[in-house]
Amino acid sequence: MTSTKSASQRARPYAGLSWLVLALACACQFMVILDASIVNVALPSVREELGFTPTGLAWVVNGYLLSFAGFMLLGGRAADLFGPRRMLVAGLLLFSASSLAGGLATAPEVLVAARVTQGVGAAMMAPATLAVINTFFTESNARAKAFGAWSASGGVGGMVGALAGGAITTGLSWRWVFLINVPIGAALIVVAMMSLAGTRAGRREPLDLIGAVTGTAGLAALIYGVMQSADHGWASGPVVAGLLLLGAFIVVEARFARRPMVPPRLFKIRGVAVGNGMLLLFGGITIAMWYFSSLFLQNVLGFSALQAGLGQTPAAVTFMVIARWAAALLPRTGVRPLVLAGSACFLAGFGWLSLGHAGSGYVAGVLGPTLLIAVGIGLTFPTLMAVATADVPEGDAGIVGGLANTAAQAGGSIGLAVLATAAGARAAASEAAGSSPVDALAAGYGLVFLMAAGLGLAIAAVSLLLPRHRRD
């Protein structure tokens, strides 16, 4: 008994700190999602003080999202090779230092460079947090609850970002939107050094440099091209270059790399393949919910930006509550019932939301359907993350976490481009047919919501590829 116990303690020397490890992972995820949204409300103040052009100002947001999504796979593999503790601490250091640089920026170029660097730091942190959860919480019920808390923390970050950006900018300065990360990051570094002291230090393997270059450059080019697709079309140079680089990445990983950055054997695990496919579709659903419902509130119902943020708060709270509840249910119900229930909520909620028009009231036209959609997001997001990262060897937990995050981010970027193009075309056609500008916008958003309902049906169909009842 003694030898068995000591062996277990050597395998998991940080046992007993589970609450601190989970709090650390959730806090890091909160920061990553928070900084994707908190800057939005501060953009007018940033433009006025630093003299941004309208095109340049968009890169305060896009620079972060581009580097975050583009470097996620590399960050995940690095967590496997160098250990999640090292990558989490390094990511926090880079994130905090770039936040300081952004808060002190005196020129547009400096702020954009800081945001790009922030995104790289976030891409190091996010897969490392999933690797920590996946390797520390080995029992299925505990892991499901950990994923629920991790998912809910992202929801808190998105909600707080929408509200805190305006409050900080109004009460202090836009600079504190960045500077507030510095003391928080420093505290999290201390916690990481203490709570993860006994985690696996990684393994001595060289990084697949060709795979790292082609994969990272391909993702970055593709996402950049998708961001610019409204102005330059889908056949633009960056989109083509990104697809070619990703094609080269797949060939290199499958045929030539001795130690590939993304081992092809991982896709033989059904959960990894199917889970990432569903997360790719899920990214479009989240964009339709949070981005386009906010536009509907402002451009059709006439809400201010702050009112729109407050109007989405009930849905955000619902998502957080349901995500924790779904995580507790997952070990008992299995994956498919939760995914199918969530897809039903998407179908009903987006179908209801698509009926909205300029005369719709907030409660019946927006609050009801968005609460229903939020229930669907809460049921599916932690479930999909658990599916996409389950049954994976501990040494591959980082890259699998990077894959899952990349799928969701890429799905959101592609979904935004596709849905925005469809909404614009539908609105233009409606206005040409004699509709008022507001009614034309409502018609465009209605099409977006119907397309999102279709994505919910697609997720339900893909989920049928999973085992009928999965308790792991």
pLDDT in tens, 213-262: 887 888 788 877 877 776 677 777 888 888 898 888 888 878 877 777 77
Residue 262 Cα to chain centre, angstroms: 20
For the CA atoms of the chain, what is the radius of gyration?
Answer: 22
How many CA atoms lie within 13 Å of 361's alpha carbon, on the beta-carbon side? 3
**Domain 15-206 coded CATH 1.20.1250.20:** yes
**pLDDT for res 422:** 86
Q: Residue 52: what residue type?
A: F
> Taking the domains of the chain in order of start, what are their residue ranges?
15-206, 208-260, 269-472
pLDDT digits (tens, 9 = 90+) for 276-332: 889 989 988 887 887 788 888 888 888 876 777 788 888 888 988 898 888 778 878
CB 132 within 8 A of CB 25: yes
Topology match between the domains 15-206 and 269-472: yes
How many CA atoms lie within 13 Å of 215's alpha carbon, on the beta-carbon side? 28
pLDDT digits (tens, 9 = 90+) for 395-437: 677 788 778 878 887 888 788 778 888 888 899 999 898 889 8
- Residue 425 has a CB neighbour count (10 Å cut-off) of 12
Kindly indicate the confidence band of residue 375, based on its pLDDT and cuts at 50, 70 and 90.
Answer: very high
Higher pLDDT, 235 or 113: 113
pLDDT digits (tens, 9 = 90+) for 259-280: 777 778 888 888 888 888 899 8
CB 376 within 8 A of CB 339: no
Instruction: Classify domain 269-472 at the CATH class level.
Output: mainly alpha
**pLDDT for res 205:** 66
> pTM for the whole thing?
0.77
**pLDDT for res 162:** 66
